């Protein structure tokens, strides 16, 4: 038969990142495209031991679990959140299949087709997919190196009456930028003045290169979960491993409870084997020490990539040194189309993500996102030299 699809899913573009990942699987391509953590740093022995402890604790560990998530893990996570100034109770938290599902569930409980969401420009690609799948209208807010421009946000709030503001204030994807304190407070103030909730997506906050730097979350500035304006989500995908697909959301009790209702319908609960394994991991393994190892390694790799790019001596290729996270955001010469550059690059066996994927409206086509966490050493040098070869051919033609 001829299937007729929902208009929302018809409009949905397949993620360029995921499609490139598929194309490059098993090939000799060096990829700076995916947002992949360094595999050699995965604490696999600790995870194996944690899983083993779960299995040995009894057969009932394999039974159905609570929709809200495994309670002992939520309790441990609340204690970790408190160390970062985020004070929250287990019933103000829900475990999700990655933080991606938290974005989807929050969208489903707060919004209906035709509603408006405000986002940074550019912003996280897969959040745009969630908003499109739910039939929302996405309005990008002009943003610079310090975050959303607050006056612009206010103008657009007045104009569009959005139901949600979605932001990644710390080491955003794709730009790697860190919002200034002024912008953080400014957005929070707008949220209160106009009664618009904020969804703060924070997958990268732990991966800061300067251990003494302090970037308070909007959630901690808001100062309360229940009745507060900020819904916050994070994940173990970058600090432990993505395969365990475990994220969480915290926020006002009534929102969390609505998310649980939606999640009952969406998938009943996330893998409880994964959640119990993470619970055991947190009890017998210093995740904070491990995060320190990741910070150091990723900081080194970012420096290596920066150095390799600098050595090319391009005068009109620009970037801001990331203070954390996983990505370097390049501004290429005006007029250069990064999607065409990608096609040329893939022929030379190197991949990245053209920046155009990350814009809700008119894209800056001369931008590119390079991941610096998945490759290192010789392999990174070879990859950047292939990338440079492709880019130099483009520049020579101008």
Contact positions with a second copy (CB under 8 A) in 196-235: 197, 227-229
Size of the site for a second copy (CB under 8 A): 89
* Residue 190 vs 330, nearer CB to a second copy: 190
- Within residues 108-167, the interface with a second copy by CB under 8 A covers 108-113, 126, 129-130, 132-133, 135, 163
* Residue 34 vs 147, nearer CB to a second copy: 34
CB of 38 to a second copy, least distance (A): 9
Cβ proximity of 328 and 322 under 8 Å: yes
| Residue of 61, 180, 220, 349 interacting with a second copy (CB under 8 A) | 61
- Within residues 236-295, the interface with a second copy by CB under 8 A covers 237, 241-245, 252, 254-255, 258, 260-262, 264-274, 276-277
Hey, which bits of the chain come out as E strands?
30-31, 93-97, 116-120, 137-141, 143-144, 147-148, 164-167, 198-201, 230-235, 246-250, 327-331, 350-351, 353-354, 367-371
CA distances from 145 to 35, 150, 193, 245 (A): 21, 13, 24, 31
| Residue of 92, 104, 120, 201 interacting with a second copy (CB under 8 A) | 104
Q: Which two tokens stand for residue 242?
A: 């993505």
Bridge partners, 248 (sequence order): 95, 234
CA distances from 175 to 179, 288, 331, 358, 367 (A): 11, 25, 10, 10, 10
* Residue 131 vs 319, nearer CB to a second copy: 131
CB of 159 to a second copy, least distance (A): 19
CB of 120 to a second copy, least distance (A): 18
* Residue 175 vs 373, nearer CB to a second copy: 373
- Reduced to 3 states (helix: H, G, I; strand: E, B; else coil), residue 102 is helix
Q: Does 59 bind a second copy (CB under 8 A)?
A: yes
Q: Cβ contacts of residue 111 below 8 Å, gap of 6+? A: 117, 134, 136, 163, 164
Q: Does 52 bind a second copy (CB under 8 A)?
A: yes
Q: At what angle do helices 338-347 and 16-24 cross, to 10 degrees?
A: 10
CB of 312 to a second copy, least distance (A): 30
Q: Does 382 bind a second copy (CB under 8 A)?
A: no
């Amino acid at each position: 038969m001829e299937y007729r699809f929902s208009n929302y899913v018809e409009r949905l573009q397949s993620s360029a990142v995921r499609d490139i990942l598929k194309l490059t699987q098993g090939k000799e391509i060096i990829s700076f495209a995916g947002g992949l953590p360094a595999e050699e740093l995965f604490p696999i022995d600790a995870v194996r031991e944690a899983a083993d402890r779960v299995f040995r604790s009894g057969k009932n560990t394999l039974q159905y679990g609570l929709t809200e998530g495994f309670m002992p893990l939520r309790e441990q996570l609340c204690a970790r959140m408190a160390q970062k100034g985020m004070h929250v109770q287990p019933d103000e938290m829900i475990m999700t299949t990655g933080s991606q599902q938290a974005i989807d569930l929050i969208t489903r409980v707060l919004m209906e087709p035709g509603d408006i969401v405000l986002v940074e420009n550019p912003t996280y690609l897969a959040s745009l997919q969630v908003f499109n799948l739910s039939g929302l209208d996405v309005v990008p807010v002009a943003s610079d190196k310090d975050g959303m421009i607050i006056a612009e946000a206010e103008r657009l709030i007045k104009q569009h009456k959005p139901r949600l503001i979605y932001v990644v204030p710390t080491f955003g994807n794709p730009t790697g930028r860190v919002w200034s304190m002024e912008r953080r407070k400014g957005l929070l103030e707008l949220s209160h003045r106009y009664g618009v909730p904020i969804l703060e997506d924070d997958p990268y906050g732990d991966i800061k290169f300067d251990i003494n730097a302090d970037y308070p979350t909007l959630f901690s500035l808001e100062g309360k979960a229940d009745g507060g304006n900020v819904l916050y989500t994070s994940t173990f995908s970058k600090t432990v491993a993505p395969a365990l697909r475990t994220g969480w959301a915290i926020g006002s009790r009534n929102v969390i409870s609505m998310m649980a209702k939606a999640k009952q319908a969406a998938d009943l609960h996330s893998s409880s084997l994964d959640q119990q394994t993470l619970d055991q991991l947190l009890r017998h393994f210093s995740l904070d020490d491990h995060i320190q190892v990741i910070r150091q390694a990723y900081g080194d790799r970012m420096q290596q990539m920066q150095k390799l790019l600098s050595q090319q001596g391009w005068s009109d290729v620009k970037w801001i040194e990331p203070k954390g996270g996983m990505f370097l955001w390049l501004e290429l010469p005006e007029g250069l189309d990064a999607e065409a550059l990608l096609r040329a690059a893939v022929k030379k066996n190197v991949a990245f993500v053209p920046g155009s994927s990350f814009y809700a409206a008119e894209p800056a086509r001369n931008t590119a996102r390079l991941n610096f966490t998945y490759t290192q050493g010789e392999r990174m040098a070879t990859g950047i030299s292939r990338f440079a070869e492709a880019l130099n051919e483009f520049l020579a033609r101008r």
